[in-house]
């Protein structure tokens, strides 16, 4: 009878280790999901800035001029028919820059 109690203690220790391992894995997965959900790319301000950049690009395509001072457009020809335009939005201090790249196919 005394030997069975030793095995019960070992079994409960093994069960505790397995339970802690399962809990640790669940906590790790939940932290990864939580961090990804709160990342910068999922924020409302990032989406709003991305939409402003797209709007500015399309307005510049219509009017062929940049309307705002905090937005600049860099244009690079990749080959004879493909043009890359990068729209850069900077804040008032010029530190935080967001950019979006558009590719335009110009059929000759």
What are the pLDDT tens digits along the chain (108 aa)?
455 555 555 578 888 889 999 999 999 999 998 888 777 666 777 777 778 778 777 777 777 666 667 777 788 888 888 888 887 877 666 566 777 888 888 776
> Taking a C-beta distance cutoff of 8 angstroms, is the pair 52, 89 a contact?
yes
Q: Which domain holds residue 23?
A: 9-42
The CA-CA-CA angle for residues 80, 55, 35, to 5°, reads 100
On whether residue 72 sits in a domain, the answer given is yes
On whether residue 2 sits in a domain, the answer given is no
On whether residue 52 sits in a domain, the answer given is yes
95 and 78 share a domain?
yes
Distance CA 26, CA 22 (A): 6
On whether residue 63 sits in a domain, the answer given is yes
35 and 54 share a domain?
no
pTM: 0.47
63 and 90 share a domain?
yes
The number of distinct structural domains making up the chain is 2
């Amino acid at each position: 009878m005394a030997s069975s109690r030793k095995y019960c203690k070992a079994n409960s220790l093994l069960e505790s280790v397995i339970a802690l391992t399962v809990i640790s894995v669940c906590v790790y997965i939940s932290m990864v999901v939580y961090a990804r959900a709160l990342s910068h790319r999922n924020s409302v301000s990032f989406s709003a800035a991305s939409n402003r950049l797209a709007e500015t690009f399309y307005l510049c395509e219509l009017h062929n001029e940049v309307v705002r001072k905090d937005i600049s457009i860099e244009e690079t020809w990749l080959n004879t028919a493909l043009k890359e335009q990068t729209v850069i939005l900077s804040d008032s201090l010029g530190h935080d820059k967001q950019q979006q790249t558009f590719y335009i196919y110009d059929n000759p």
